[in-house]
């Protein structure tokens, strides 16, 4: 998953694919956007091409399957449609270049992954995410993730570290307790409260985005569950309500959180908590110290400062030895 275009997400995907043990493992790869273009269609900057190795399975659109530069065995042409045609699944019989443009929704990804697991016993599926579709990074879809950041996200190193650390903090939010997960898991709409006796009450709104959410009459509340998106305005309403000073706000996963870092700090500093029903496993962060405009940060310092801030491995893959 990339935090911005030109942060090195495709370079990271290339690095991972080049080191997969394809002789010993069944590996499948797809993209929720379009990956493998030589030129970014938005920024018009050069992009690294995707190279698949012999034995890898992949899913892409009909259009991009026809444009492949490798020999492949056709496995399936599904009813799953994208703007570029149906989703084609195949196995690479030679090494070569490919444009990846697979299922375009989280639900489509889940169906494809289940089919690959049921029919071909995949050991590992790699999803190339898209900036506008955080759903591919949801723990409902993928078990682990690698996050790409860099100078394209901010050319100021201090700001870049702070903004990236905020996202990492959201990814690493604590799980709510087992009782809440059991109670709230089946609910996919609305805003709900849980009182101190564990009773669930519907606050009677479809989403936290609504400016009509009223919390004044929410009493004896230990937790609020937001099934949709958690936004800054709603968080501020909770923070300003003295009855809810130490309340726990539960969301499904980090991809549902769209809050200003300062608002989150104020809420947590005042005694509140934000937790999740499902937690993602962030295994590494990669950096691209060069922005599309040509501005370059010091790679060693950036990796060191970011690793200190997030307590995770941070790599500049163009400086990492094979």
The residue behind tokens 């370059």 is: 296
Answer with the residue of higher pLDDT: 92 or 207. 92
Span 231-251, average pLDDT: 92
pLDDT band at 230 (very low <50, low <70, confident <90, very high): very high
Pick the CATH number of 178-276 from 3.40.140, 1.10.3470, 1.25.40, 3.10.450: 3.40.140
| pLDDT higher than 70, residue 133 | no
Distances (CA, A) of 158 to 161, 165, 227, 261, 306: 5, 11, 33, 15, 9
Measured distance between the N- and C-terminal CA atoms of the chain, rounded to whole angstroms: 22
| pLDDT higher than 50, residue 91 | yes
| pLDDT higher than 50, residue 152 | yes
3-state secondary structure of 13: helix
For the chain, domain boundaries: 9-171+281-315, 178-276
pLDDT band at 273 (very low <50, low <70, confident <90, very high): very high
At 33 the pLDDT is 67
| pLDDT higher than 50, residue 319 | yes
pLDDT band at 251 (very low <50, low <70, confident <90, very high): very high
Among 76-90, 125-139, 239-253, 304-318, which stretch is predicted with the lowest mean pLDDT?
125-139
* pTM, entire model: 0.87
| pLDDT higher than 70, residue 252 | yes
Among 134-138, 217-221, 255-259, 279-283, which stretch is predicted with the lowest mean pLDDT?
134-138
Where b means 16+ CB within 10 Å and e means fewer, 125-135 reads: bbbbbbeebbb
Most confident of 135-139, 168-172, 210-214, 219-223: 168-172
| pLDDT higher than 90, residue 135 | no
| pLDDT higher than 50, residue 54 | yes
Span 13-34, average pLDDT: 90
Among 134-138, 197-201, 288-292, which stretch is predicted with the lowest mean pLDDT?
134-138
At 36 the pLDDT is 46
| pLDDT higher than 80, residue 138 | no
- The whole-chain average pLDDT of the chain stands at 88
Pick the CATH number of 9-171+281-315 from 3.40.50, 1.10.3470, 1.10.405, 1.10.220: 3.40.50
Span 13-19, average pLDDT: 93
pLDDT band at 136 (very low <50, low <70, confident <90, very high): low
Query: What phi and psi values does residue 239 have, to the nearest 5 degrees?
Result: -65, -35
Distances (CA, A) of 202 to 108, 187, 208: 30, 11, 13
SS3 annotation, the chain: CECCCCCCHHHHHHHHHHCCCCCCCCEEEEECCCECCCECCCCCCECCCEEECCCCEEEEEHHHHHCCECCEEEEEEEEEEECCEEEEEEEECCCEEECECCCCCHHHHHHHHHHHHHHHCCCEEEEECECCEHHHHCCCCCCEEEEEEECCCCCCHHHHHHHHHHHHHHHCCCECCHHHHHHHCCCCCCEEEEECCCCEEECCCCCCCCCCCCCCCCCCEEEEEECCCEEHHHHHHHHHCHHHCCCEEEECCHHHEECCHHHHHHHHHCCCEEEECCCCEEEEEEEECECCCCCECCHHHHHHHHHHHHCCCEECCCCCCC
At 79 the pLDDT is 85
Answer with the residue of higher pLDDT: 96 or 45. 96
Contact 71, 44 (CB under 8 A): no
Q: What's the half-sphere exposure (Cβ side, CA atoms, 13 Å) at 196?
A: 5
pLDDT tens digits along 159-205: 999 999 999 999 999 999 999 999 999 998 889 999 988 899 988 66
pLDDT band at 65 (very low <50, low <70, confident <90, very high): very high
Distances (CA, A) of 134 to 80, 194, 258, 279, 295: 20, 28, 11, 14, 27
With pLDDT > 90 as the criterion, what percentage of the chain qualifies? 67
| pLDDT higher than 50, residue 322 | no
């Amino acid at each position: 998953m990339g935090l911005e275009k030109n942060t090195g997400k495709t370079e990271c995907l290339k690095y991972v694919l080049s080191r997969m043990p394809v002789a010993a493992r069944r590996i499948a790869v797809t993209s929720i956007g379009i990956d493998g273009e030589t030129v970014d269609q938005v920024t018009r900057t050069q992009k690294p091409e995707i190279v698949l190795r012999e034995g890898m399975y992949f899913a892409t659109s009909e259009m991009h399957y026809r444009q492949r530069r490798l020999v492949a065995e056709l496995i399936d042409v599904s009813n799953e449609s994208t703007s570029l045609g149906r989703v084609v699944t195949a196995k690479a019989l030679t090494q070569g270049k490919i444009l990846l443009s697979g299922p375009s929704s989280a639900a489509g990804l889940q169906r494809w992954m289940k089919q690959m697991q049921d029919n071909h016993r995949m050991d590992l599926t790699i999803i190339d995410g898209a900036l506008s579709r955080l759903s591919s990074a949801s723990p409902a879809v993928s078990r682990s993730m690698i996050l790409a950041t860099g100078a394209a996200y901010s050319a100021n190193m201090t700001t870049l570290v702070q903004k990236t650390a905020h996202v990492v903090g959201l990814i690493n939010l604590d799980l709510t307790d087992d009782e809440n997960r059991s109670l709230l898991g089946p609910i996919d709409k609305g805003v709900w409260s849980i009182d101190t006796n564990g009773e669930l009450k519907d606050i009677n709104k479809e989403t936290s985005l609504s400016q009509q959410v009223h919390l004044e009459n929410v009493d004896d509340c230990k937790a609020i569950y937001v099934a949709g998106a958690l936004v800054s305005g709603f968080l501020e309403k909770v923070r300003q309500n003295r009855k809810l000073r130490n309340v726990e706000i539960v969301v499904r996963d980090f991809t549902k959180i769209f809050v200003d870092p300062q608002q989150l700090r104020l809420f947590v500093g005042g005694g509140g908590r934000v937790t999740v029903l499902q937690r993602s496993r962030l295994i590494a962060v990669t950096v691209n110290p060069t922005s599309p405009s040509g501005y370059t940060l010091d790679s060693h310092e950036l990796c060191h400062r970011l690793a200190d801030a997030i307590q995770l491995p941070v790599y500049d893959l163009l400086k990492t030895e094979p």
